[in-house]
Each structure stands twice: as structure tokens, then as C-alpha cells.
Amino acid sequence: MCLITSPAAAQELSRPQTAFVVVVQGTASEPAELSQELGSLWARRGRDVIPVPPVAELPRPDLAQLALARRAFAELRPRESIAALEQFLAQVDTLGGGVGRETLLSAWLLLARARLALQDPARADEALDHVLSIAPDIELDEARYPPPLRDALAARRDASGPSVALELELEHAAPNLRVAVDGAPPLPRSALLALAPGVHVLRLSAVGWQPRALRIELSQGHTRVDAALQPDPFAPLRPGARSSSRELRLAASRLGAVPLLLTLRHISRARLRVEIWDASQDLRAALTLPAAHTPRRIAHAAVAALSRVQSEPARRRHRRVVWAVASSAVVVSLAAALTLVLASRPQSGFRLQLEPESGVR
């Protein structure tokens, strides 16, 4: 789980005016609760907690337009129903689906029904072609759909001949790509898909990448489509990410922050290892806690451990100063004592005195 703290004059864990991206990784019984507790703890220390930017989501069609179309058709206003349906389905094409498969099929079937009500079979066939491209073997419920629509669908299926799956090859670099085709639930897919001829809408997604929408039309045996995705710049900070220190720093710098990484792992059923790294000052701390600890106790223990490590350099500098002063005092004392000893010692040696000889003439 992740939290981001905004710049504040913090007294612990950081230099003043340093924002942190807090990344909690590993195994913990209540990771979400632990993140909340960490955020609450730092907020009480003078930091405002804000969420990590979410993964960008593709917009979805306005379902109110579909509800309006259904109501207008039920009130025998097919032209208004068609106008609302065309607006809704244009959004589907533009936004790459965004609605469930059954919803999409019912919209195209309602459009075909409304056009048949206006005696426009050619354009009704266009809507039914979309239905058959999504579900070639669809069978309409007799209690829900009238005979004219069922007969038109059967005639259109006979005219198009047997359904033949076409190959769609997606070129992409994203591992574990997931593709939602025509509103179906997204599933892990290989680079090759088998789809019926016609128009299809795709929504592509992968962990660590920005999602993308595609609209394609298949009319031949093999089609290749560039499905490249853009990387998610904040992927290293998201839950479950396993990123290097460099990736964490880079993702945090995009937010004007530095990463504070907490890694949790069970070393036994009863013990939990907590490792903390503050990238702003390259401080590291580690502690072992009972696995039964509440998220609150884990959070407070982590903050206290890093605070102790942070105060160590100051204590070491203080000890160096004390030792320097003490050493200087000892040296001065020794020098003074040596001077006194030398001054108090008796003088010894030879003295040569020359005197003139007497009686010399």
C-alpha cells in the first residue's frame, strides 16, 4: 500500500520541507490498515497525507443515453430511441467499449428493432451485423424479442454464411496483457486472438501500463494491430510492485518526493521482520516484531527505529567533539607536566674556566 506525504517542517524522519512517498511492501495481516496508521502518525507530526495518483481509467459511455433510448422505444417513439442509441453506440466505438457484453448486444438489438419499426430493413441489417460480429451464434429469447427481429437475424446469419474466425495479432511490449473484447470480462491473452468478421471494440490493460482503447474492423484472414501501451510513471509506487531503488526514486521524483520504503516479511509464524529505508538521507533500520502486533504498533515501532538511526550521526559527532577536547586537554597537561619536570631537575655537566698564568714574564 502507498501513501504520499506533502512537504512540511518535519522534526523526525526527514529534513525540513521533504515530502515522502511511503511504500509498504511484503506480507502483513492488515496492509491497508498499516498504511492508514502510518499516514495518521505522520499527519500528527505535521504532514498532510494525500493518495497516490490512481491509474488512469478509460472513460465509459453514458448509460443514461441507453436508458433514454429504452424509454422512448417503450413509449412508441422510435426516432428518439434511434437518436439516443446512435449517440450511445458512438461513445462505445470512441471509448473502446466500456460496457458489458450483454449491455452492448441489447443496445444493437434495440437499434435494429427501432429501425424495423420505421420500415428501414437495410439499416436494421447493419445493426444486426454488429450483433453477429460480437456473438455469431446468438439465439434470441422468444419471450423478449418479437418474431420480426428473430427472423431478420436468422436471414442475416444465412446471408453472411458460416462464421469463420479471423486472426487478430496484437503487437505490444506489455507482459500479462489483458484484453476486453466487446465488453466481455478481460482475460489474459496472447498476441493472437480469434474473432468473428466485423467491427470490434477492445480495451487493453496491463499492470504497470496505462490502459488503451481500440476500435478495429476485421474483414480478412489475418490482421496485425499496434497495441503498444504507455508505461505507468507511478507503477513502482503501487501496491504489490517489486521495484529497484532507482525505480522508486524516479517515480517519487515525479511527485516531488523521495521514497520511504518499508519491507515486511514473516521470518516465522510468530515473528515479523520490518526493514525501513529513508532514501532522502540513506538511513536504514531494521527490527523484528511479533507477528501478532497490530498495524498501529508496527507503524510506531518503524517510526521510532528510523528516528533512533537518524539521531545516531549527531551522537557520533558529539562523541567526536568530546574526545577531541579531552585528547587536547590530556596533551596540554602532559606538555605542561613535562616542562615543570625539566625545569626542576639540577643542572649537570662540565664547566671550563681559563685563568691567566701568573709569573710569566
**Closest by CA position to 228, among listed 247, 243, 206, 250:** 206
Angle at which helix 63-74 crosses helix 78-95, to 10 degrees, equals 160
- pLDDT at residue 67 greater than cutoff 60: yes
| Cβ 271 vs Cβ 288: under 8 Å | yes
Question: pLDDT category, 177, cuts 50, 70, 90?
Answer: confident
First-last CA distance in the chain: 118
User: Top-level CATH class of 63-160?
Assistant: mainly alpha
Sketch the domain layout of the chain as residue ranges. 2-55+240-312, 63-160, 166-226
Q: What is the pTM of this model?
A: 0.66
Q: What is the pLDDT of residues 248-283, one digit of tens each?
A: 888 888 877 777 777 777 888 888 888 878 777 777
Q: What is the pLDDT of residues 189-198, one digit of tens each?
A: 666 788 999 9
Q: How far apart are CA 49 and CA 32, in angstroms?
A: 14
Architecture of domain 166-226: Sandwich (2.60)
Q: Which three cell numbers stand for residue 269?
A: 509464524
Grid cell 504532514 in the structure block, residue = 47
Residues contacting 305, CB < 8 A, separation 6+: 274, 276, 285, 286, 287
Domain 2-55+240-312 is found in CATH 3.40.50: yes
Q: How far apart are CA 319 and CA 19, in angstroms?
A: 31
Q: How far apart are CA 108 and CA 138, in angstroms?
A: 13
pLDDT at 341: 54
Q: Quick one: average pLDDT of 167-193?
A: 83
